[in-house]
Amino acid sequence: MAKDKCIIRIEEALKRSSIDTVKADEILQDIKQAQAEAKIENIDSSITDKLSDEILQQKKIEKKIKERNNLENEIKIRKSIDYVLENFPGREVEGLQAILVGSNLQKTGSRFSVALSQFTMYRNFTTSFEAKLREKKVDGVFANATADQDRRIAKAMEEIGMGKEVTVKDPNLVEIARIMVDFQEQVRLKLNGAGANIPKMWGYIVRQSHDPFQLRNAIDVLNIKRNKNIDETSGNGERNLQAWIDYILPKLDGDRTFGKNATEKEKLDFLRYAYNTLIRNEHQIADGASTTYGSRDLTTKLNAKRVLHFKTSDDWFDYNSNFGGGNLRESFFSGLNIAARNYGLMKDLGTKPQDNFKEIGRAVAQALENRGKTDDAIKVSTALKKQGNLEKYMMEVDGSVNSVVNFGAARYSAILRSIASMAKLGGAVVSALADLHLYASEVNYQGRSYMGGLFEAMGSLAKLSNKRRTEISSQLGFINDNAIYDLAARYSVGDTLNRSFTKLQRTFFKLNLLSWWTNSLKEGAMLGMGNYVAKQRKTGFNQLEEGFKRLLKHYDIDEKTWNVIRKMDVEKADNGDEFFSVRQIDNLTDDQIKSLANLKTMSKRQIELYKDDLKTKTSGMFLDRSTYAVIEPDARQRAFLKQGFMAGTGPGEAIRFMAQFKAFPIAILDKAVGREMSFFREGQNMRALMGISRLVIMSGILGYVAMTAKDLLKGKSPKDPLNKKTFFASMLQGGGLGIYGDFLFQQSNYGLDLLSTLAGPVLSEGAKVLNAVRLGVQGEFSKSARAAYKSVVNNIPFLNLFYLKTAFDYAIGYQMMETLSPGYLRRMENKMRKDTGQEFLLTKPSTLFKGF
């Protein structure tokens, strides 16, 4: 086909310009794309000029955005350098960590980190979206939508997004589609405001949903047993790749996805690259503006995240059902999560966060060197090196540590850990009784009373949630953990599970009541703090209680900011209680924002960014402190446990096995104990000693209460509280190790099994199975059978639920043990009496059961 004369004229004009060859080719390609989309052939000069003017104008905009981003990146870099040098003298590495994941040190802004910005923005996105659904009374329809309803919502989204006539008839589904289109457009504009350059496209958020497990098993997902193209490929990976390509290629809009003139080889190379990126979970990495999903950036366009443009909403929906989030809700929340993590990085570290953070570290080291502090400079330089102390924190906040290197190893390891969680955490809610004193300690740190915190926690568990209570807590940032599937994070370092195990795990945490316990306490913590803040609104900054003033400074809320936000309207509950209102920040005037920013003139974009930053600080304070009140590992503890090793690698999987169940006690040490230890560095030694002493004492008391509750559920009398072994066990139970249950505390001597402690539950249980085999080989069949039976029973998911375990023991378990090892029950009772002084409260099992 002959080349259009007008296109030739544009080519020649570009060659004569100062635009380099690569950019010129891209400009020309965009003009051809516009021509193709407009279905124009043999275009005349006037249309060509209009198209080329529009494309060239876009290039000018991109250039201006890049110039603006470079300037703002420099400002953010300088601000961070000054922050570290001024606030963390002698502890500059800790200051750099604080930028990424926060610090317990009592410094201005020490908790207002990149990780908190990401977490807060995701919660703000989610709660704002659900508030819109509730406002239009379609939240129930969205939450319980069938596959057919999801398909029709997607269809309406496409028609609304592309300005077409809406053909979907159900008004509720159309309303949901409008809300989703409007909301994802707001998210896109926020990302652009932070430095991205994402063009408008329908379904921007949901398109980012890809399930690496489904992709890696494309043949089974599509149920393709024999296929000529697949059979001709070699290796399981290649076969699945070919199955995926054969499935997706007919569904893609070729011109928009590959470019109008792409060859077949270029298309296949593109899809191969996209597939390999997706199965490694690399699409989840947050890396700033230049490669944010859908972002246009001339200098890095070839490395941009791959955007798959589908022909129709039905094509996208079919793909998503097989290889995406599975349903519209999960796909949407997944996209919001990616967007929030990118936004948090760009907001704090600019559009090139990884490069900018290294620049900050190098500049800090150079400044220390210039000041003659060579040792401190060396510490910073060492921490910045590959596999240095800081890399693991960056890998956590940008998500690269969750990339999958060896899919098979990562998949089956994650499944084993999931099974272990569901087999070992059946009594977690009983162990969690010790949470109450951690809650009260955090309330006391905020400037309120310890006893008031205890009563607030118990009251939260007793209260039933209502619509108004939910609305108020939502605007503070709270959302039910089981709605966004974060519950397991309390006890793990994070795994990527397939759909089946993810759903199974959610169900488990509902049935063991940990979902109810955690959500009730978290909501109570945020509402309690929100009520306290509202009560302080008539108090000037300098007159605030010292604990609360200290807390505000942790999140960079100074006197000027406090004196503005305390005058905002509050939320009122049905009973008249008042609560701080984060959403009222949107109603602050431009003049108020300019005053807070100390600027006489600000653009609309700058004002919106400042409001977002202020909302992130305030909402982040409520969210962050709720994870101190109801201990939950955050990015800092997860990074420490994973040490920067990716999933699927030998070290990565080994450390994930070892870290299972340790995230919670590590979080207690880092958060609760670390919070109290921070007073030593402030010279408040007595305050530090009192805080730590209270943690220790109350850990023991409530640990004993939790342990006694477990014993009563098992039909046993309480342990002797004066026994030193009981004291030791109570301290560990209250200090976070209670989640191990009988797995860690061997009933024979209360000793901690070293292998269980270091290797984690999966490897330890594997060792027990091998021991059973060894006993069988040696001819000790009774011991072998007993050990094998215990290993099987102790690793059946759901069987360990605290309200089922005792029933199972009396119905089957004791009979089986007596059958496998005659006299076992009598020996068990004698040993229990000797070691702990305990007796069975009801009839002794040895008198009831004689074996089958």
Instruction: Give pLDDT tens digits for 636-662.
Output: 999 999 999 988 888 988 888 888 888
Question: What is the reported pLDDT for 568?
Answer: 94
Question: Which structure tokens are listed for 316?
Answer: 């996208």
Which range among 3-17, 515-529, 788-802 shows the weakest confidence by mean pLDDT? 3-17
Q: What is the pLDDT of residue 56?
A: 64
State mean pLDDT over 129-158.
92
pLDDT band at 210 (very low <50, low <70, confident <90, very high): confident
* Tens digits of residue pLDDT in 241-280: 999 999 999 999 888 888 777 888 888 888 998 888 888 8
Phi and psi dihedrals of 628, rounded to 5?
-90, -40
What is the C-alpha separation between 157 and 166, in angstroms, rounded?
Answer: 9
Q: Which pTM was predicted?
A: 0.84
Per-residue DSSP letters for 643-691? TTPPBTSHHHHHHHHHHTTTHHHHHIIIIIIHHHHHHHHTT-HHHHHHH
Once rounded to an integer, what is the mean pLDDT over residues 336-345?
91
| 181 confidence band (pLDDT: 50, 70, 90) | very high
Half-sphere exposure of 482 (CA within 13 A, CB side): 18
**pLDDT, mean of residues 387-413:** 86
Q: What is the mean pLDDT of residues 597-624?
A: 92
| Helix 604-629 and helix 328-349, axial crossing angle in degrees, nearest 10 | 110
pLDDT in tens, 655-689: 888 888 888 888 988 999 999 999 999 999 999 99
Which of 262-271, 283-292, 551-560, 655-664 shows the lowest mean pLDDT across its residues? 283-292
**382 pLDDT more than 90:** yes
282-291, 482-491, 801-810: the lowest-pLDDT one:
482-491
pLDDT digits (tens, 9 = 90+) for 689-719: 999 888 888 888 888 888 888 888 888 889 8
* pLDDT for position 226: 64
Kindly tell me if the per-residue pLDDT of 302 is higher than 50. Answer: no
Q: Which residue has the higher pLDDT, 376 or 34?
A: 376
pLDDT at residue 108 is higher than 90: yes
pLDDT at 390: 94
Q: In percent, how much of the chain has pLDDT > 90?
A: 37
Dist. CA 205–CA 430, nearest whole Å:
40
Q: Distances in Å between the alpha carbon of 592 and those of 585, 596, 599, 801? A: 10, 6, 10, 54
- pLDDT exceeds cutoff 80 at 309: yes
* Rounded Cα gap, residues 819 and 817, in angstroms: 5
Check if the beta carbon of residue 503 is closer than 8 Å to that of residue 327: no
495-512 mean pLDDT: 78
Q: What is the token pair recorded at 339?
A: 């967007």
Question: Is it the case that residue 86 has pLDDT exceeding 90?
Answer: yes
Instruction: Look at 380 and 236; give whichever has higher pLDDT.
Output: 380
Of the ranges 40-44, 199-203, 265-269, the best mean pLDDT one? 265-269
- Outline where 286-390 has alpha helix (H): 313-323, 328-349, 353-370, 374-384
- Alpha carbons 843 and 825: distance in angstroms, whole number: 12
The top-scoring range by mean pLDDT among 113-122, 186-195, 235-244, 279-288 is: 113-122
**What radius of gyration do the chain's Cα atoms show?**
30
- Tokens matching residue 389: 């102390």
* Secondary structure of 199-211 in HEC code, one letter for each residue: CCCCCCCHHHCCC
Angle made by CA atoms 141, 145, 149, in degrees to the nearest 5: 105
Structure tokens at 243: 């199955």
Asked if 356 and 76 count as a contact pair (C-beta separation under 8 A), the reply is: yes
The whole-number pLDDT of residue 79 equals 93
Cα three-residue angle 472-477-478, rounded to 5 degrees: 75
When pLDDT is averaged across residues 150-166 and rounded to a whole number, the result is 92
Indicate whether 446 pLDDT > 70. yes
**Cα(164)–Cα(293) distance, rounded to whole angstroms?**
25
Mean pLDDT value across residues 181-201: 87
For range 24-52, the mean pLDDT: 52
What is the pLDDT, as a whole number, of residue 741? Answer: 40
H/E segment holding residue 572: strand 571-572
pLDDT bracket for residue 556 (50, 70, 90): very high
Q: Exposed, middle or buried by CB within 10 Å (0-12, 13-18, 19+), for 67?
A: exposed
pLDDT above 60: residue 29 = no
Lowest-pLDDT range, 204-208, 211-215, 294-298, 582-586? 294-298
Q: What is the pLDDT of residue 768?
A: 82
pLDDT band at 744 (very low <50, low <70, confident <90, very high): very low
CB 744, CB 756: distance < 8 Å: yes
Q: Which DSSP letter does residue 811 get?
A: I
CA distances for 225 relative to 222, 230, 494, angstroms: 9, 9, 34
SS3 579: strand
Residue 28, token pair as written in the block:
């020309």
Tell me what the pLDDT averaged over the chain comes to.
Answer: 83
Q: Are 204 and 198 in contact (CB under 8 A)?
A: yes
Model confidence at 745, pLDDT cuts 50, 70, 90, reads very low
| Alpha-carbon distances, residue 212 vs 185, 290, 401, 593 (angstroms) | 27, 24, 15, 44
Question: Cβ contacts of residue 668 below 8 Å, gap of 6+?
Answer: 438, 631, 735, 736
- Alpha carbon distance 423, 722 (integer Å): 32
Q: Which residues does 831 contact at the CB level (< 8 Å), separation at least 6?
A: 747, 748
Place of tokens 């693991």: 392
Question: What's the gap between Cα 354 and its chain centre?
Answer: 19
pLDDT for 539 equals 93
Give the model's pLDDT for residue 848: 87
Predicted confidence band of residue 230 (pLDDT cuts 50, 70, 90): low
Share of the chain above pLDDT 70, in %: 84
Contacts with 401 (C-beta within 8 Å, 6 or more apart), sequence order: 392, 395, 639, 642, 644, 645, 646, 647
pLDDT of residue 620: 94
Mean pLDDT for the stretch of residues 390-419: 87
Paired strand residues for 705: none
Among 22-36, 396-410, 432-446, 486-500, top mean pLDDT goes to: 432-446
Of the pLDDT bands very low, low, confident and very high (cuts 50, 70, 90), residue 490 is very low
Mapping DSSP onto H, E and C, the string for 468-497 reads HHHHHHHHHCCCCHHHHCCHHHHCCCCCCC
pLDDT (tens digit, 9 = 90+) per residue, 524-541? 999 999 999 999 999 999
Q: What's the pLDDT at 358?
A: 95
